[in-house]
Chains A and B, each alone.
Chain A
Amino acid sequence: MATQETARSGLRQAFGRSASRGLLGLEQLIGGFGTAIAALALLMIVVATAVASLVGVGLPAVPAVAGAVRALANRERHRLARYGVDLPELDPPPHGIRGALADLSLRRELGWTAVHATMGAVLGLLGALLPLFALRDLTFFLWWWAGPAGSSASSIGVGTVNSTLGALWVSLLGLGWIAVVVGVVPNMARLQSWPARRLLVPDPSVDLSMRVAELTATRAAALDAHAAELRRIERSLHDGSQNRLVAVTVLLGAARRSLVRDPAQTDEILERAQRAAESALAELRAVARSILPPVLADRGLAGALTGLASASAVPCDARIEVAGRCAASVEATAYFVVAEALTNVAKHSGARQAELTAALREGRLYLQVTDDGRGGADATAGSGLDGIRRRVEAYDGSLRLESPAGGPTILAVELPCGS
């Protein structure tokens, strides 16, 4: 019994899966029919423009047509993303006729327009008709008698129906249509999107050069941020701790000299030397902490962020869902982002309540600090947030600031975890 039950429910599941695959395929085909009709119209315009250009009058229209091709291609890329076909959308083609003609991706898009306008349209039309056929034939036995005598037939026009029995045979054909929808439609949909999958990917050389440009930019930003960070550390060591220690040696030298001359003063000088040494230690601690907050090593990112929230001058609710660990530099960045954000809330926002959320999902760290203050914060050059933004971008992350006048202010940061 039990095995029969399992088999039956397994069968039901398999049937359900096929049906939903069929329906999804239908949706994709019919959607494709829409873009195919647009492609057909565009194809005529392209041909007309090409012919007109041959006699010289069509050339001014070339950039606009190129833009339309790119727009339609992007529309198709966007549409196919729903069905798990990942095609990055491209920027508009370069201005000018020459630039448009030299755009390798645009040439491939033109090819796609031609194929999709024909094959895509036919497949899409079939996709639109199949459910209609199925509905018509399935219900045929209910209304066949209403048609003019001798003319009623199945949807494909084969045979003439004169009896309910014959009509039932047609309804059987309707079941066949459903089987076709379930069995063949997903493949048709795949066939319809095949030209897009081949031709709407960015030209390989373009893709690579885009990636190189992107990596070069982020790498340069990372090096910049790195150099700025090193400069900051060097300066705080030289002008802070080192000066303190020089003061210590100067005062110790003075103390030794005064031992002979004026022992009473010696203690006072030694006291000063000791204070200078203590402040050198404090400076060193501050520098070390600014490189990598020890609290991260001691309590992890989640603990460190909770600590920041509870130490915040403005009451701050914290929802921290950071189970794993990230690269140390990313954790340090996250820590400084939150520290800076909460400092800003306390200093500038006039908020009564703040909220911190942090989550680690699929290798990305999401941080958000919200407050109910007066808003109007900006992250332009020179502000503390600008430094934070550069640090975040150096790690390939992104920072978003929403702070309309009157509030509320939302600072959202996303960082790749890097581990």
Chain B
Amino acid sequence: MRIVIGEDDALLREGLALLLRAESLDVVATAGDAEELLEAVETHRPDVALVDVRMPPTHTDEGIRAAVEARRRYPKLAILVLSAHVEQAFATELLAGGSTGLGYLLKERVGRVEQFLEALHRVAGGGTAIDPDVVTQLLARTRSDPRLERLSPRERDVLALMAEGLGNSAIAERLVVTDGAVHKHIRSIFAKLDLPPDDENDRRVTAVLRYLEDVRRKG
């Protein structure tokens, strides 16, 4: 897996590179701002770009905009955005064009190396990785939705992990249940939310996220 890192903080940039290289991943270039990042993507054509949201000059959402732009130029490029804090607007902006090969994680998740690598591989493989905090925020404001009220606690857990982008077997592993049980829960969730059942993972994530986003907006 070939990776480009866009992170303006030198110490953190080197830390990330060190960690990934130790895991035998190929960090082909590192960049300190959005412009350098786009150049590096152009030059190296990596599989994944790891991007910090806040970069010079204004330290607001340069990373997000660079990611959206890079994606526009290279639709096959997978992008994992790292953020110092959860910002719903960033996630929405990033996922506006679908969730295939996209991720949005809090920076400190990188320290949980195993889960981080899992998320990185998922995104590189065309999947999705949404930070649990983003999902929690989405779910926290959905109490007003009568259809979500119908979900059992277990189904809510499954829904949250689905929204994070986990596949059936990964959800089963997290919740320590069988794949079959997860499958059953998911069918029940889709029925209760009036969503068309879909076994394709990325479309499923998009549907769930969009549903939650809609509910949040109305609430």
Which positions in A face B, CB cutoff 8 Å? Answer: 235, 238-239, 242-247, 249-254, 256-258, 261-262, 265, 269, 272, 276, 279
Q: How far is the CA of A265 from the CA of B19 in the complex (A)?
A: 12
| Cβ-closest chain B residue relative to A265 | B22
Contact A249 B22 (CB under 8 A): no
Chain B residues positioned under 8 Å from A262 (CB to CB): 22
Report which B residues bind A (CB closer than 8 A). 8-9, 11-12, 15-16, 18-19, 22-23, 54, 59, 84-85, 107-108, 110-113, 116
Whether the pair A238, B16 counts as a contact (CB closer than 8 A) is: no
Question: Which residues of A have CB within 8 Å of B85?
Answer: 238
Known contacts A238-B54, A239-B54, A249-B111; A244 and B11 CB within 8 A of each other: yes
Tell me whether A253 and B113 are in contact in the complex, defined as CB-CB below 8 angstroms, given that A238-B85, A247-B9 are known contacts: yes
User: Contact between A239 and B113 (Cβ–Cβ < 8 Å)?
Assistant: no
* Cα distance A47–B18 in the bound complex, in angstroms: 91
Contact B23 A257 (CB under 8 A): yes
Give the shortest distance, in Å, between A384 (CB) and chain B (any CB).
19
Return A71 CB to nearest CB of chain B, in Å: 51
Q: How far is the CA of A249 from the CA of B110 in the complex (A)?
A: 8
Contact status B54-A254, CB under 8 Å:
no
* Interface pair A249/B108, CB less than 8 Å apart: yes
**How far does the alpha carbon of A250 sit from the alpha carbon of B111 in the complex, in Å?**
4
Task: Give A308 to B9 CA distance when docked, in angstroms.
Answer: 32
Q: Are B18 and A243 interface neighbours, CB within 8 A?
A: no
Q: Which residues of A contact B22 (CB under 8 A)?
A: 254, 257-258, 261-262, 265
Chosen A-B contacts, 26 in total, with CB atoms closer than 8 Å, are A235-B59, A239-B8, A242-B84, A242-B107, A243-B11, A246-B12, A246-B84, A246-B108, A246-B111, A247-B12, A249-B108, A250-B16, A250-B110, A251-B15, A252-B111, A253-B19, A253-B113, A254-B15, A254-B19, A254-B113, A257-B19, A257-B23, A258-B22, A265-B22, A276-B11, A279-B11
Identify the closest chain A residue to B110 (Cβ): A250
* Closest partner residue, chain B, to A261 (CB atom): B22
Q: Which residues on A sit within 8 Å (CB–CB) of B113?
A: 253-254, 256-257
Known: A239-B9, A254-B113. A247 touches B84 (CB 8 A): no
Kindly provide the distance from the CB of B110 to the nearest chain A CB, expressed in whole angstroms: 5
Closest 4 pairs between A and B when the two form their complex, measured CB to CB: A249-B111, A253-B111, A254-B19, A253-B113
With A239-B9, A249-B110 already in contact, 4 other A-B pairs whose C-beta atoms are closer than 8 Å:
A243-B12, A243-B84, A249-B111, A253-B116
Nearest neighbor of A251 in chain B, beta-carbon distance: B15
Query: In the complex, what's the smallest C-beta–C-beta distance from B38 to chain A, in angstroms?
Result: 21
Residue in A closest to B16 when the chains form the complex, CB atoms: A250
A257 CB contacts on chain B under 8 angstroms: 19, 22-23, 113
Bound-state CA distance A249–B12 (Å) is 10
How far is it, in angstroms, between the C-alpha of A239 and the C-alpha of B83 when the chains are bound?
11
Closest to A243 in B: B9
Cα of A299 to Cα of B88 in the assembled complex, Å = 45
Report the bound CA distance from A265 to B107 in whole Å: 24
- Cβ of A279: which chain B residues have Cβ within 8 Å of it? 11
Contacts of A244 in B (CB 8 A): 11
Give the chain B neighbours of A258 by CB distance below 8 A.
22
Smallest CB-CB separation from B117: which chain A residue?
Answer: A257
Give every chain A residue within 8 A of B116 (Cβ-Cβ): 253
Q: How far is the CB of B148 from chain A (nearest CB, A)?
A: 33
In the bound assembly, the distance between CA atoms of A257 and B84 in angstroms comes to 23
**Once bound together, how far apart are the Cα atoms of A3 and B112, in whole Å?**
95
User: Residue among B11, B54, B107 with the most chain A CB within 10 A?
Assistant: B11
